Copies of this chain bind each other. A is one copy, B any other.
Amino acid sequence: MKIIKGGVTAPKGFLAGSTSCGIKKSGKADLALLFSTTPCVSAATFTTNRVKSGSVVLCMQRIARGVSQGVIVNSGNANCCVGKKEIKDAMEITDAVSARLDIKKDLMLMASTGIIGRPLPLEKIKSGLSALVKDLSGSNGTSFAKAIMTTDTVHKEIAVQINIKGKAVRLAGAVKGAGMICPNMATMLAFFTTDAAIEKEALKQAFKESIYDSFNKITVDGDMSTNDSAMIFANGRAENSVIKKKAKDYFIFLEAVKFAAKELSRKIILDGEGGTRFVEIIVKGAKRELSAELAARRIANSNLVKTMIAGGDPNWGRIAAAAGSSGADINPWRMDIYFGKVLVMKNGAGTDASRPLLLDIFKKKEIEVVVDLKSGNKSSRVWTCDFTEEYVRINAEYET
Query: Is residue A221 within 8 Å, beta carbon to beta carbon, of the partner chain?
Result: yes
Query: In the complex, what residue of chain B is closest to A295 when comparing beta carbons?
Result: B50
Give the contacts of A296-332 with B (CB-CB under 8 A): 301-304, 307-308, 310-313, 315-318, 320-325, 328, 330-332
Q: Give complex CA distance A180, B302 in Å.
A: 10
Chain B proximity of A179: nearest CB distance (Å): 7
Q: Give complex CA distance A303, B97 in Å.
A: 37
The answer to whether A82 touches B349, judged by C-beta atoms less than 8 angstroms apart, is: yes
Query: In the complex, what residue of chain B is closest to A394 when comparing beta carbons?
Result: B307
Query: Is residue A117 within 8 Å, beta carbon to beta carbon, of the partner chain?
Result: yes
Query: Is residue A123 within 8 Å, beta carbon to beta carbon, of the partner chain?
Result: no
The answer to whether A325 touches B223, judged by C-beta atoms less than 8 angstroms apart, is: yes
Chain B proximity of A23: nearest CB distance (Å): 15
The answer to whether A317 touches B392, judged by C-beta atoms less than 8 angstroms apart, is: no
The answer to whether A325 touches B50, judged by C-beta atoms less than 8 angstroms apart, is: yes
The answer to whether B321 touches A49, judged by C-beta atoms less than 8 angstroms apart, is: yes
Q: Give complex CA distance A13, B320 in Å.
A: 40
Q: Give complex CA distance A395, B322 in Å.
A: 15
The answer to whether A50 touches B395, judged by C-beta atoms less than 8 angstroms apart, is: no
Most B C-beta atoms less than 10 A away, residue of A118, A349, A396, A399:
A396
Given A50-B332, A315-B116, A392-B391, residue A349 in contact with residue B223 (CB < 8 A): no
Q: Give complex CA distance A157, B325 in Å.
A: 28
The answer to whether B117 touches A317, judged by C-beta atoms less than 8 angstroms apart, is: yes
Query: In the complex, what residue of chain B is closest to A359 when comparing beta carbons?
Result: B400
The answer to whether B348 touches A317, judged by C-beta atoms less than 8 angstroms apart, is: no
The answer to whether A226 touches B51, judged by C-beta atoms less than 8 angstroms apart, is: no
Given A117-B350, A224-B325, A325-B223, residue A398 in contact with residue B313 (CB < 8 A): yes
Q: Give complex CA distance A307, B78 in Å.
A: 19
Given A50-B332, A223-B303, A395-B304, residue A116 in contact with residue B317 (CB < 8 A): yes
Q: Give complex CA distance A302, B345 in Å.
A: 30
Chain B proximity of A54: nearest CB distance (Å): 10
The answer to whether A304 touches B179, judged by C-beta atoms less than 8 angstroms apart, is: yes
Report which of B117, B179, B317, B397 forms a contact with A80, defined as CB distance below 8 A. Answer: B317
The answer to whether A81 touches B304, judged by C-beta atoms less than 8 angstroms apart, is: no
Q: Give complex CA distance A118, B344 in Å.
A: 12
The answer to whether B400 touches A392, judged by C-beta atoms less than 8 angstroms apart, is: no
Chain B proximity of A202: nearest CB distance (Å): 31
Give the contacts of A134-163 with B (CB-CB under 8 A): none
The answer to whether B325 touches A85, judged by C-beta atoms less than 8 angstroms apart, is: no
User: What are 11 sample pairs from A and B whose C-beta atoms fall under 8 A apart?
Assistant: A50-B324, A50-B328, A51-B325, A81-B345, A116-B317, A222-B222, A224-B325, A226-B324, A308-B398, A313-B397, A313-B400
Sample of 7 further A-B pairs with CB below 8 A, known A179-B304, A311-B400: A48-B325, A51-B330, A81-B332, A83-B349, A116-B317, A223-B302, A313-B397
